[in-house]
Amino acid sequence: MKKYEGVFMIVRSRAPVRISFAGGGTDFPYYFNSGKAGCVVCATINQFAWGTLATRRDQTINIESYDFLRKLRFSDLNEIAYNNDLDLIKAVVKNMNKTGRGMDIFLRSDIPPKSGLGSSASAFVALIGLFNHLKGEKRFTNYEIASLAYKLEREELGIGGGYQDQYATTFGGLNFIEFFPTHVCVNPLRIKEDHAKELEKNLVLAHLAERGISGDIVADQTKKYEQKDYSVVEAMDTIRDTAHEMKYALIRGDLEQFGRLLHEGWEQKKRFSPLITTKQINDIYELARKHGAIGGKITGAGGGGHFLFYCEPNKEQIVSEKLQEAGVKVIPFTFDTEGLVTWEIADKSDL
């Protein structure tokens, strides 16, 4: 307890990153506001953003990011301003700390930024969860947490992207998420436990390289869609249909079809923008396919980050070995089913 002088309470949180299977791109407003509902199939995994909030008896606000090796100190809430220095943490503090109460906030992530796994959304949600825990009976619902995370990341800070990340990390689990002009609907996929274990076993997650600025890719595909570029519009519609097909394949337990749909989705996604793939990414994909991967896809906007493969049964280890021989890092994981969780580690009897 010496680390936090004058502490009332210490709250911790964690929020998982997600792997996207199908439908990515249709969760953008330019798509689902055009008269076509968007949808994605995605799952969260056991790689997290971790947050800690310790309340203080004064108005001092200390924020620290382990990932960026940065610490900032403010005498009160009014001193906090956006300047591209830990703005992610600042945005949550400015919007959630309505009383101006002093606090120490710490954030770290298992997955680095620019991962393609929605790590920034998981950080936003973990931080919002800390403040939400303090609200007691007036806590936000999961839908309200995800909506606020989207508004802070996409609108207040202007970081490009769609809606799926915030909802996936907040709710957790394997979901079919639908996007409409007025609301989002998260539908948990009720698949048999044996099928879920088989799916998890046969998936390989590989870290290719740090990607560039995802906003460049998003801006390019947005422009093409709004200009009604036939190739992009057709590809997005096909990807939406693929997400529906994948949902039913998972419910049936047809995992071979799941793998084929991953491949089909990747082929369509590459039509969004020439920035999505590179020769290195294409070569790695062909290497994995040669040694047992049925299908795969980039897990985020593209250009780098993580690539997900679904392999023939008992070929996942061969695929992993070949990828590592080619200098690609393979990330072990299991599915997460909890989403955002928060807990206390200090007595609050003196609040």
Pairing of strands 61-65, 329-330: unpaired
Q: Which residues are bridge partners to 306 per DSSP? A: 207
- Spatial distance between the Cα atoms of 351 and 349, rounded to a whole number of angstroms: 6
Residues 6+ apart with CB under 8 A from 138: none
User: Taking a C-beta distance cutoff of 8 angstroms, is the pair 31, 25 a contact?
Assistant: yes
One DSSP character per residue, 85-108 reads SSHHHHHHHHHH-TT---EEEEEE
The first and second tokens of residue 130, run together, are 């800390």
Residues 6+ apart with CB under 8 A from 33: 181
Q: Which two tokens stand for residue 35?
A: 């008269």
Three-point CA angle 41, 234, 176, nearest 5°: 10
Query: How many beta carbons lie within 10 A of that of residue 167, not counting itself?
Result: 29
Q: CB-based contacts of 264: which residues, under 8 Å, 6+ apart?
A: 238, 242, 295
- Tell me if residue 110 is catalytic: no
Backbone angles phi, psi at 212, to 5 degrees: -80, -155
Catalytic residue among 104, 110, 165, 336: 165
Instruction: Just list the catalytic residues.
Output: 165
